[in-house]
Amino acid sequence: MSIKFTQFVRPDGRRKTVWYDAPDDLNRRALVLHLSGIHFGIEILPNQTLFLMCFRKGAEEPLCSRLCTAVRDDKVGVLEAVRKLVADAESILARSGG
């Protein structure tokens, strides 16, 4: 199982679906968020760093976001950023009552 992200493609903001292969525990946590109406987005910046975000269904503004200091080919750095994004979203949902 993988985590589904919507990639916002530069320069025009076109959207495409990308999948991120993560460990099972992280996939399960992301699925719970998805079932709660959260979806994940990603943008690859010109310097190849990643900007990760998550949104509530139907919202235009991100619920939370995280600039990944790792470039997209740095698998360990990207995994850590995705872990932190998921944890941020879980925390915000817990504080807001879901």
Above 90 in pLDDT, residue 69? Answer: no
State how far the alpha carbon of 58 is from the alpha carbons of 28, 30, 37, 40, 55, in Å: 22, 18, 9, 12, 8
Residues contacting residue 11 through CB under 8 Å, at least 6 positions apart: none
Token pair in block for residue 89: 């979203």
Residue with tokens 């495409």: 16
Query: pTM, whole model, 2 decimals?
Result: 0.86
Mean pLDDT score, 66-75: 75
Q: What is the mean pLDDT of the chain?
A: 88
Q: Where are the domains of the chain?
A: 2-96
CA separation for the pair 16, 76 (Å, rounded): 24
